[in-house]
A = this chain, B = another copy of it.
Amino acid sequence: MTDVSVTRASDLGGLANPARPLSPIDVGAYDDATLRHFLTLLFRIRFAEEKVGELVERGLAKAPCHLGIGQEAVAVGVSAALNARDRVFGGHRSHSHYLALGGDVYKLLAEVLGKLDGTSRGMGGSMHLYGRELGFYGSVPLVGATIPLAVGAGIAAQMEGQGAVGVCYFGDGATEEGVFHESMNLASAMRLPVLFVCENNLFSSHLDINLRQPSDRIGRYGDAHVVNTRSVDGNDTVAVAKAANELVTHARNGGGPGLLEAVTFRHRGHVGPKEDIDVGVRRRQSDIDAWKRVDPIPRLISALRDANRMTAGEIAQLEQSVRKEIDEAATRAEAAAYPEERALLDLVYIGGASK
């Protein structure tokens, strides 16, 4: 588009500004085990993605890897509102979505390396993850593609009448795809139990949202489609969990779909482990630095310590054990086998060789 000013005012009431005065994370509503679980997941996602970055740098992972480092709180918070009957779909940046549901790091790393033990039996790589046993029904990289699939999961859930929800994660860029709007309208008109989770990281690859949309607040689409909407601090695990829980509960009770806008930022570039300072349109070192200061992990750690929920020692120990888990998983994944050649034709159709 023509060069609209990228300094246009934000409609997000501070959420897009990492230098705003922060309200501290309010851990009051959750018990110790849950909070420890949140932190475990945050660590696991963070370190697993850092490991993926290493595998890319070492030339072992060839598939495009989109890291969500800095955005982990979204998936952790959302997953807290879900149960085993719900069906979750992701996109190109879905390591966190898989892991936050309880996904296995070894399977993830094996998949990233194209190995048979991977989540998708080595047929997908980083951008195509699967974990049905967890309720993770699949992620694929075509932007916006899984949004209507989650609506279909909502139809299924409505027919079953068991209170399940369909969930999809997508980015701010995906809301520029028509299918997002068609899906919101369909879900709204049918009052389907669907949770639309927009990770608004203010960028779509190299482009700032202000270069692509007339406002940086994705929530306005929820208003237009008459969908219950919450815009929250996406770097606050608890805020995300609470908002997700509200919307999901409403949906389970027949109140129709919800749109959760979690405002966040990715520390790394669009694809691969670099920070992409040079290539972005307004992606300055100072922006990244400012966002790193509101990193969801230290923020949750401070809150846990301030509230005396975990000691520094416990946290350090947890960190160590997660790091160890991931190193071991990586070593195993590197050594694992590739799929056999016949998979190429055998998997085209379900149940055996194409005939």
A interface residue numbers (CB < 8 A to B): 1-2, 4, 158, 176-182, 185-186, 188-191, 211-215, 220-221, 223-227
A218 to chain B: closest residue by CB: B224
Contacts of A178 in B (CB 8 A): 177-182
Copies in the complex: 2
12 contacts between A and B (CB under 8 A): A1-B186, A1-B189, A2-B191, A178-B179, A178-B181, A180-B181, A188-B214, A189-B211, A214-B226, A221-B224, A223-B223, A223-B224
Whether the Cβ atoms of A4 and B189 lie closer than 8 Å is: yes
Q: Are A213 and B185 in contact (CB under 8 A)?
A: yes
Interfacial chain B residues near A181, Cβ < 8 Å: 178, 180-181
Partner of A4, one of B180, B191, B227: B191
Q: Chain B residues near A227: list those with CB within 8 A.
A: 214
- State in angstroms the CA–CA spacing of A134 and B181 once bound together: 34
A228 to chain B, nearest CB (A): 11
Query: From residue A263, how far is it (CB to closest CB) to chain B in Å?
Result: 18
CB <8 Å contact, A220 and B224: yes
Within 8 Å CB of A4, what residues of B? 189-191
Question: In the complex, are the beta carbons of A177 and B188 less than 8 A apart?
Answer: no
Given contacts A177-B182, A179-B178, A213-B185, contact A190 B224 (CB under 8 A): no
Q: What 11 additional pairs, Cβ within 8 angstroms, besides A4-B190, A4-B191?
A: A2-B190, A176-B182, A177-B182, A178-B178, A178-B179, A178-B181, A185-B213, A188-B214, A189-B211, A189-B214, A214-B226
Contact A215 B226 (CB under 8 A): yes
Which residues of the partner chain B approach A185 to less than 8 Å between Cβ atoms?
A: 176, 212-214
Report B-chain residues with C-beta under 8 Å of the C-beta of A189. 1, 4, 211-214
Q: A226 — which chain B residues lie within 8 A by C-beta? A: 214-215, 220
Nearest opposing residue in chain B for A11, CB measure: B226
4 pairs of A and B residues whose beta carbons are closest in the complex: A178-B178, A224-B224, A214-B226, A181-B181
Give, as a whole number of angstroms, the nearest-CB distance from A8 to chain B. Answer: 10
Residues of B contacting A2 in the complex (Cβ-Cβ under 8 angstroms): 158, 190-191
Q: How far is the CB of A62 from chain B (nearest CB, A)?
A: 33
Q: Name which residue of chain B comes closest to A176, CB basis.
A: B185
**A180 contacts across to B, CB distance below 8 A:** 178, 181
Which partner residue on chain B sits nearest A227 by CB separation?
Answer: B214
The interface residues of chain B lying within 8 Å CB-to-CB of A188 are 213-214
> How far in angstroms is the closest Cβ of chain B from A87?
19
Distance (Å) between the CB of A156 and the closest chain B CB?
13
Q: In the assembled complex, which residues on chain B have CB atoms less than 8 Å from the CB atom of A177?
A: 178, 182
When C-beta atoms are compared, the residue in chain B nearest to A182 turns out to be B178
Which residues on the B side are within 8 Å of A182 (C-beta)?
176-178
